[in-house]
Amino acid sequence: MDGAWTKLAAVRGNYQRHRRHRFAAPVATDKLRVVIEATNGDPSAAIYEIRCYAPQAE
């Protein structure tokens, strides 16, 4: 990427405890940003884990 932030995924109205995003092509980066815009009425938001994996060998 060229140094600018690029949105790769967006979710609205998610009530699930587990959320998975799979991308059609690998993404090379050394940073990850998560923006939480709403909490469905809760006073706070929490992320307990983020996992990022390299592409699987063929």
Domain ranges for the chain, please list them: 1-58
Q: Is 12 helix (H, G, I), strand (E, B) or coil?
A: coil
Instruction: Locate 16 and state its tokens.
Output: 């699930």
Residue 50 scores a pLDDT above 70: yes
Residues 14-46 pLDDT 10s = 877 788 888 888 888 888 999 988 887 888 888
Give the separation between CA 13 and CA 6, rounded to whole angstroms. Answer: 21
What pTM, to 2 d.p., does this model score? 0.66
* Structure token pair of residue 44: 């706070």
Cα dihedral 42, 31, 49, 35 in deg (nearest 10)? 10
